[in-house]
């Protein structure tokens, strides 16, 4: 980096979907930034100083001021750099509805994935069915609230929801890593189509971790004995 500090610095870890969200937004907006890879087993003093309460990544530092939590950072980026493409709609009602579904995905569907990992046998089968039902509710809600904009198609600009979903789109790596018997025919088809198109977006392909590397990391995280 030299002696001149970058105006925008992102502290993250390569395997974190939450961190990839922020990288995607920065790239989409064309914002130059420095990336600092953090070792969460040996957190840097800089990270602890920037996020002393939660001590987690991602943390975005803009002109020396730190912002934590991925969704907060994404909205900050959209407000601070209000050039196109916009991550959120201009209309307040549309923004409110979008926030509701982003929150639903973040708290319900991402959490459901964790439940699948920590369960076995019949409990795991139920967890998979529960996750698919949540995805169905999510899919139906997006279709109702944003008609004509779902699923994502080539040439359509990425928005906040696309970034949040796309950064968590490594479902093949997830199923391979946790050895889950996954039946794609049970997953709502339009959601699956959305995810698959997002994965082919140039920014997604550039930013998301490589499949084999992510599988190895997931296995280490969830199954390696300390």
CA distance 57 to 50: 10
Q: Smallest Cα–Cα separation from 164: which of 2, 28, 7, 13?
A: 28
Query: Going residue by residue through the chain (226 aa), what tens digit of pLDDT does each one get?
Result: 344 568 999 999 999 999 999 999 999 999 999 999 999 999 999 999 999 999 999 999 999 999 999 999 999 999 999 999 999 999 999 999 999 999 999 999 988 887 887 788 888 889 888 999 999 999 999 999 988 776 666 677 899 999 999 998 777 787 777 666 566 667 888 888 888 889 889 999 999 999 899 888 888 876 653 4
Measure the CA–CA gap between 71 and 224, rounded to whole angstroms: 30
The phi, psi pair for 200, rounded to 5°, reads -90, -5
Burial (CB < 10 A; 0-12, 13-18, 19+), residue 89, is middle
Sign of the dihedral through C-alpha 136, 137, 140, 145? negative
| Ramachandran bin of 64, using left for φ above 0, alpha for ψ from -120 to 50, beta for the remaining angles | left
Flag whether the pTM goes above 0.85: yes
């Amino acid at each position: 980096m030299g002696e001149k500090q970058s105006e925008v610095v992102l502290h993250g870890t390569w395997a974190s979907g939450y961190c990839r969200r922020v990288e995607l937004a920065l790239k989409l907006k064309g914002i130059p930034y420095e990336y600092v890879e953090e070792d969460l087993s040996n957190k840097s003093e800089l990270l602890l100083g920037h996020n002393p309460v939660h001590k987690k990544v991602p943390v975005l530092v803009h002109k020396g001021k730190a912002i934590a939590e991925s969704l907060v950072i994404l909205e900050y980026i959209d407000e601070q750099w209000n050039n196109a493409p916009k991550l959120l709609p201009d209309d307040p009602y549309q923004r409110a509805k979008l926030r509701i579904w982003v929150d639903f995905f973040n708290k319900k569907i991402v959490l459901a994935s964790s439940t699948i990992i920590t369960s076995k046998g019949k409990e795991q089968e139920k967890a998979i069915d529960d996750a698919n039902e949540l995805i169905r509710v999510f899919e139906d809600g997006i279709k109702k609230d944003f008609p004509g904009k779902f699923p994502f198609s080539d040439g359509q600009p990425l928005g906040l929801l696309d970034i949040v979903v796309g950064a968590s789109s490594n479902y093949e790596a997830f199923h391979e890593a946790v050895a889950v018997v996954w039946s794609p025919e049970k997953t709502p088809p339009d959601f699956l189509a959305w995810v698959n198109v997002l994965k082919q977006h140039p920014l997604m392909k550039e930013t998301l971790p490589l499949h084999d590397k992510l599988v190895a990391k997931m296995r280490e995280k969830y199954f390696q004995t300390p």
